[in-house]
Amino acid sequence: MINVFLDALLLQAGYNAALVAFGAALLGIAAGSGGTFLFLRKRALLSDALAHSTLPGVGIAFMVMVALGGEGRNLLGLLLGSTISAVLGLLAVEWITSRTRLAEDTAIGAVLSVFFGFGVVLLTVIQTMSSGYQAGLEGFLLGSTAGMLFGDAVIITIGGALAVGLVLLLRRPMTLVSFDPEFAAASGVNVQRIDFAVMGLVMAVTIVGLKLVGLILIVALLIIPPVTARLWSDRTEHVVLTAGLIGGFSGYVGAALSASAPHLPTGPIIVLVSFALFVFSLIFAPARGVLAALLHQRRFRIRLHRRQGLLALAQKDAIRDRFTLAVLRREGLIRPDMAPTEAGRDAAAKVLRDESRWAMARRLHQHDKIPGRYDGLTPIESVLTRDEVADIDRRIEGSAGFGGGDGR
């Protein structure tokens, strides 16, 4: 079993299996990178409606091809049918959202279930037809590599490559429209057309992935990679790239696994692989992972104690908290006999000055997020710009002059 899997992984399991794995990788790259823009535009759920509304098209295309005396299982024909019904599904969502008072999520739920239900009815009817070719249509639900023809694999590969090309070509306008559609429009970008291109991209990935991943789970391949990649990076390009890599890796490994054990459906395996990457990232990602959050919390605690200790030093109060003492001692701010070192005195003076600066900043930024971000530990220069700090210092001097004059 392991050997068979390794063979498939290393493209030794035969020409067809290799092409399928390669196609799945390309499809994963396209789904991950294209899905990122859908995710950033906050329209992820729309792809689920799109995927589910392909099913009636598959059924009707099969029936039409059989009625015309054809084989019924021609992949191109089935994909053409599913494209038409997916477009109808999208138009239905669009129409419900713009013409009724229903919100988009409601429209998505309605369209998704009605189209899917209709598709299942059609598949059941096909099962009772006496054409004998029906086997394989269930593969469109959960995906399968079993019985995939060479021509099918070529279609998947070409479709995946085209989708990746579209992402590369339109990455800038798609980023602009996802972040700031108003600015994009005012810069001469046709926002509607770009939204349309993103939907087209998602549609292409969905249709091409139907045979491999299946319509129920293709949405996972569009969403899990971007969400995972977002944990690793704060830059759009990196999120797109990482999501592509995660999708590609999941597609490749999933297809190889499924090829080595033909009874396993391909779609669920691919999704499970990408989900494993998600869980790993959720725990270990350096910026937004769970471990990183714990580490941040610990550092926060240390910084909080350092500040309390330094404030006490500046005001010549006694420090009783053991953890505070330990922190100050470890950082060389106090001597073992608790007297402040040179560095400790400087740091204490700085904390005291920042304290009054922050007090002023809180007054000036009352409606802003700044007060919330005052944890007493971030140096003020790293949160406010130079002219803002200068402004605060001027005001402090101003009010100090007044106060002193009154006092005497």
Partner 1 sequence: MNSVALELDRPHSAQAVFPASDESPFSIRELTVSYGEKPAVFAVDAAVPPESMTAIVGPNGAGKSTLLKAALGIVPRISGEVLVYGKPLAQAMRRIAYVPQRASVDWDFPTRVIDVVLMGLYRELGLLRLVRHRHKEKALACLSRVGMADFAYRQIGQLSGGQQQRVFLARALAQDADLYLLDEPFAGVDAATEKAIIDVLKALRAEHRTVVCVHHDLATVTQYFDYVLLINTRKVAEGPVATTFTAENLQKTYGGRLATAHIEQLKLPAA
Residue 146 or 359: which CB sits closer to partner 1? 359
CA–CA dist 21, 258 (Å, integer): 10
Report the SS3 class of residue 399. helix
Q: What is the phi/psi pair of residue 127, to 5°? A: -60, -35
Helices 104-128 and 44-52, packing angle to 10 deg: 20
Residue 236 or 281: which CB sits closer to partner 1? 236
Shortest Å, Cβ 190 to partner 1: 10
Shortest Å, Cβ 165 to partner 1: 11
Residue 34 or 173: which CB sits closer to partner 1? 173
Residue 100 or 187: which CB sits closer to partner 1? 187
Report the SS3 class of residue 334. strand
Q: Could you write out the DSSP letters of every residue in 240-265?
A: HHHHHHHHHHHHHHHHHHHHHSTTS-
C-alpha distance from residue 184 to each of 176, 231, 240 (Å): 6, 26, 19
Residues lying near partner 1 in the complex (CB under 8 A)? 40, 42, 169-170, 172-173, 175-176, 178-180, 182-183, 185-188, 230, 233-236, 238-239, 364-365, 367-370, 373, 383-388, 390-392
Residue 230 or 307: which CB sits closer to partner 1? 230
For residue 334, list its beta bridge partners.
340
Shortest Å, Cβ 369 to partner 1: 6
Shortest Å, Cβ 360 to partner 1: 11
CA–CA dist 348, 339 (Å, integer): 12
Shortest Å, Cβ 362 to partner 1: 11
Residue 186 or 318: which CB sits closer to partner 1? 186
Take residue 27 and report the two structure tokens written for it: 């499809």
Shortest Å, Cβ 373 to partner 1: 8
Among 266, 227, 201, 208, smallest CA distance to 80 is for: 208
